[in-house]
Amino acid sequence: MNILQIGLGGFGKNHLRAWAQMGKIRDLRVVDLSEDRLGEARHLFGIAADRVGREYRPFLKDADVVDIVTPSDSHAALCEEALRLGKDVFVEKPMTMTSREAERLAAEVERSRRILQVGYYYRFHPIAQYVREQIRRGELGAIRCLSGRFMGFKRARTDVGVTHTDGIHFIDLFNALIGESPREVYALIRDHFGRGMEDFSIVLMQYPSGIVAQVESGYIQPGNWVDRVVPNAMTTKEITVVGDRKTIRADFEIDKVEQFEVRHELQNGIWAPVHGLCTSPRLRSVTPVELVALELEAFLKSVADRTSPDPNVVESGTKLANVMEAVYRSAKSGQAAAIQSADVQASSLASLIEAAPVGR
């Protein structure tokens, strides 16, 4: 199988390390605009000179699968070109910048019968797998609410705002955990840096079942731990899932899970907590590169089996793009925004971001 990776900047290096960990270097061609990054890849992983380059098209025709790890605003065009040439595609999140782009890719996937998987790697984390199984088995009881914090002092990405790079991870994860997409969002975002992209965000989501979720993200809030992906960063990446029988609190940065067996009962006219066991299951610790390898292995399995991947072009593509556009509509209007499909949402994401409030 011939694998083409497009992009070595930022997270692309972790993809390269993951392919190496999977024993796929001999199958790999790598493209990047930087000669320095290409030289480093050749030196560290022994990639032959004729398998690296600054232009992707000479390699694209012979590729079986394409791994796209480029700036977000280039994702849609690269995915569409690869799909039309009959290639299976893995693309880092977000899949597209707008819902209209997402709808076009979904249509192209259906037409071409190709595989397209989106890179939301927290779905593959042992913590997420554990929480998902606990919910599936009914161990938590009826789910009431979820909350997540993905934030910390770190460099601000230059292609998308913090909701679109960090908060979106937990929005996607929450959708996967409860098997629903939100019907309405209320969002507050701020652009303290004056870049035209938010650096602080709070998103409230209401689901059709009545479950409520909150996701906070930002570059300006302190984090608890040294980040394992971004240099010179202190971040917090934690979620809480509340059921009517048990609650789970999980920290992805230190691979810690706490499960509280607590419910409320009416006692003498007062709703009081009834405490049971508090447990902390030991789960496998994984590095960011191992997580990338897990999702790439799942992608290759979908390619081999010709089965729809998880996360796919609809659940983590079109539906998530609609959620993100609702986030920016809500931030612009100051009111809750219903989730709209691409055929009725005409505003571009860029214009919505530009109209959002600037912080002080």
The answer to whether residues 320 and 94 touch, using CB atoms and an 8 Å cutoff, is yes
Average pLDDT over residues 38-59: 96
Task: Give the global pTM.
Answer: 0.93
Tokens of 12: 């692309």
How does pLDDT run across 75-110, given as a tens digit for each residue? 999 999 999 999 999 999 999 999 999 999 999 999
Question: Band of the pLDDT at 347, cuts 50, 70, 90?
Answer: very low
3-state secondary structure of 82: helix
Residue 360 scores a pLDDT above 60: no
Q: What does the mean pLDDT of the chain come to?
A: 94
Residue pLDDT, tens place only, 199-254: 999 999 999 999 999 999 999 999 999 999 999 999 999 999 999 999 999 999 99
In the chain, where the domains are located: 3-121, 122-289
C-alpha count within 13 angstroms, C-beta hemisphere, residue 269:
0
CB 327 within 8 A of CB 203: yes
Q: Percent of the chain scored above 70 by pLDDT?
A: 94
* Per-residue pLDDT at 10: 84
pLDDT band at 348, cuts 50/70/90? very low
Tell me the CATH number for domain 3-121: 3.40.50.720
CB neighbours of residue 359 within 10 Å: 14
Cα gap 9→48, rounded to integer Å: 19
- Looking at residue 337, its pLDDT comes to 98
- In degrees and rounded to multiples of 5, residue 45 shows phi and psi of -120, 5
- Grade residue 356 by pLDDT with cuts at 50, 70 and 90: very low
How far is the C-alpha of 71 from the C-alpha of 56, rounded, in Å? Answer: 15
Distance CA 112, CA 157 (A): 33
Distance in angstroms (rounded) separating the CA atoms of residues 56 and 328 = 33
Chain mean position to CA 246: 26
The answer to whether the beta carbons of residues 150 and 217 sit under 8 Å apart is: yes
Same fold, 3-121 and 122-289: no
> Is the pLDDT confidence value at 343 over 50?
no
**193-199: long-range contacts, CB 8 A cutoff, minimum separation 24:** 193/156, 193/219, 194/358, 195/156, 195/158, 196/353, 196/354, 197/156, 197/160, 197/161, 197/162, 197/353, 198/161, 198/162, 198/163, 198/331, 198/353, 198/356, 199/156, 199/161, 199/162, 199/359
CA–CA separation, 16 vs 3, rounded Å?
11
Domain 122-289 superfamily per CATH:
Dihydrodipicolinate Reductase; domain 2 (3.30.360.10)
- Give the pLDDT of residue 340: 78
Q: What is the per-residue pLDDT for 359?
A: 52
Q: Is residue 143 helix, strand or coil? A: strand
| Mean of pLDDT values over 55-62 | 97
